[in-house]
Amino acid sequence: MAHTAEFRDAIERMLRARIPFISINSIERARVLEVIGELAEELGIPIYVHNLSRGTREIKTNRYVNEDRSVVGGLDFAVQNITQRQNLSFVFTEVTDIEEDNPVSRNLYDCVVQAIDQGGSICVITTNSIWPQLQRLGMTITLDPPNEEEMYKIIEECVTPYKGSIPIEWDENDYRMAASILANMTKIETENVLSTLMAKRSLNKEDIKALSLEKDKLFNNISGLEKVKVDAATPSVAGLEGLQKWLENQRQLLTKDLKSRKLRPPRGVLLVGVPGCGKSLSAKFIAAQWNLPLYRLDLAAIHGQYLGQSENRLKEAMSSADNAAPCILWIDEIEKGLSGAAGSNDGGTSTRMVGQFLFWLQESTAKVFVVATANDVTQLPPELLRRGRFDELFFVDLPAEEERKDIINLYVTRNLLKVPSAEVLDKLVDISEGFAGADIESAVREVTTQALLHGDEVIDDDHYIRCFNNIVPLSKTAPERIDAIRLWGRERAVPASGSSWDSSQTDKIANKRSILI
């Protein structure tokens, strides 16, 4: 794995050392050839490039020396010249079917053997694996997509020529934000996106949002992840002052230069709490507030029936998330996908998946902010809760009295219902003691259904009371489970409200939690 500077240094050393076979793993052929062309000038060595459209050309002069466009013809030309002259290098840009033992692989193998005797180098640009017997004759180097620093320079090179001819509102922070958004895209993809934006003859602050949309289109169907649409009507979170303040600090870190202080990008947050209290909607809220694409990883769904299939699917999904960065990765009910690591009968699959996920969570440097939610925290692997995995662990509790009143008013207003009297509203708040936000929504939805079926005139205070009395919340049907969740959160997690736990209450946690607006 290497970015441009590291790649350039590695290729230069390989060419100087006359490595007979160099496989270059990259999807950016033009970017690879640009680096090799610069090295040909600096080192003063002849380097030839073959492609299927024109044949073989000398990279410094761009003069075509062999019109045979086939791979076999290009290899024959390389062998003829390598046997007659020393220290020649040939780069093949479109060689296929070299993963296994076949005529093409053996032809290439013979060419490399000739290069060994004459001090030549054969380079292949490919994203496929190499026939092992051939690969052992040389070395492999990967050119990664541009990182943020490289992307910053690419953006400058694209935008600077237009200064003075079109209005450009971007400042230093905008360039940095754009570089952060477009990181991991190819150079040509970046140039296409910026050219499209500037084609409207301006470049303003709002175009930063357009960059996210354009990148999102490229990663709409990435492997292992489900794209979640987030629109302007996404509920906002109120009442979670502690969580919101913490998130704002993390958002600022996304655009800061963290390398100088040896810090990694924000990794994510684990939200635990009572079911139905809005933990999952928090992921959509964060994506909407940060103006980043949201992808959902269903760990339970990636389990396969064959040995190693689950681990490979998880690896592909995490690699896809890295390529889509910066983004929000939502893992709903994470305990269902990572539970059962110990004592399970799956042949060790769960254990390997946990290890693979935790390694990525701690070691990945991509700007992927993970929002994981959990209801049954007792099923979570202990190592997932260790410091260094997630940046913080927050507990989202049942709504307190004032919050229940706000939530009732919220759903009544949203569903265009007749507002109940103040006296009845207070009674509904009392009835909804122990309700989660989802329970309150369900009660108001029943009122709305009756209004649609029989007209708004039938909705009175008694109707509200009947609908609320018909709801039996989880805190009453499974009180032991809810008490256990709340006790766990009180002892191990940070209250999402930002206030400290009230130690005077042993049977009830009345801290504020999220109100979804």
* pLDDT tens profile 24-60: 999 899 999 999 999 999 988 899 999 999 999 999 9
Strand partners, 515: 238
Q: Is the pLDDT of residue 506 over 60?
A: no
Query: Torsion angle of alpha carbons 274, 275, 281, 286, nearest 10°?
Result: 30
In this structure, which CATH number among 1.10.10, 3.30.2030, 1.10.8, 1.20.120 belongs to the domain 401-476? Answer: 1.10.8
Token pair of 218 as six digits: 């490229």
Query: Which pLDDT score is estimated for 113?
Result: 94
Highest mean pLDDT among 111-115, 334-338, 342-346, 451-455: 111-115
Average pLDDT over residues 337-363: 72
**DSSP 8-state secondary structure symbol assigned to residue 143:** -
- DSSP codes of every residue in 109-133: HHHHHHHHHHT-EEEEEESS---HH
Percent over 90 (pLDDT), the chain:
29
Query: Which pLDDT score is estimated for 361?
Result: 86
Q: Is the pLDDT of residue 236 over 90?
A: no
Q: Is the pLDDT of residue 13 over 90?
A: yes
Q: Nearest to residue 381, comparing CAs of 346, 337, 349?
A: 337
pLDDT one-digit tens code per residue, 154-191: 999 999 999 889 999 998 888 988 998 888 888 998 99
Q: Is the pLDDT of residue 237 over 70?
A: no
**DSSP 8-state secondary structure symbol assigned to residue 274:** S
Q: Helices 401-414 and 437-454 sit at what angle, rounded to 10 degrees?
A: 30
Cβ–Cβ < 8 Å for 120, 18: yes
Q: How confident is the model at residue 505 (pLDDT cuts 50, 70, 90)?
A: very low
Q: How confident is the model at residue 64 (pLDDT cuts 50, 70, 90)?
A: very high
Alpha-carbon dihedral sign for residues 228, 230, 234, 237 = positive
Average pLDDT over residues 423-450: 87
Q: Is the pLDDT of residue 495 over 50?
A: yes
Tokens 């050219």 — which residue?
195
pLDDT one-digit tens code per residue, 266-310: 888 988 877 777 777 788 888 888 878 889 988 777 776 656 677
pLDDT one-digit tens code per residue, 189-217: 899 999 989 999 999 988 887 887 777 77
Q: Is the pLDDT of residue 231 over 90?
A: no
Residues ≥6 apart with Cβ < 8 Å to 488:
272, 377, 378
Q: How confident is the model at residue 108 (pLDDT cuts 50, 70, 90)?
A: very high
Cβ–Cβ < 8 Å for 483, 398: no
Burial (CB < 10 A; 0-12, 13-18, 19+), residue 473, is buried
Query: Which pLDDT score is estimated for 76?
Result: 94
Average pLDDT over residues 102-117: 93
Residues ≥6 apart with Cβ < 8 Å to 125:
24, 26, 29, 32, 91, 92, 93
Residues ≥6 apart with Cβ < 8 Å to 217:
none
Against a cut of 0.75, is the pTM above it? no
Query: Which pLDDT score is estimated for 343?
Result: 46
Cβ–Cβ < 8 Å for 104, 96: yes
Averaged pLDDT score across all residues of the chain: 83
Q: Which amino acid does the sequence have at 505?
A: Q
A 10 A CB-CB count for 48 gives 23
Of the given ranges (113-122, 377-386, 465-474), which has the lowest mean pLDDT? 377-386
Better-predicted residue by pLDDT, 517 or 200 = 200
Q: How confident is the model at residue 220 (pLDDT cuts 50, 70, 90)?
A: low
The hierarchical CATH code for the domain 237-396 is 3.40.50.300
Of the given ranges (144-148, 352-356, 367-371, 510-514), which has the lowest mean pLDDT? 510-514
Better-predicted residue by pLDDT, 261 or 456 = 456
Domain 4-142 belongs in CATH node 3.40.50.300: yes
- Compute CA 344 distance to the chain's CA centroid, rounded to the nearest angstrom: 30
Cβ–Cβ < 8 Å for 21, 115: yes
Query: Which pLDDT score is estimated for 501?
Result: 55
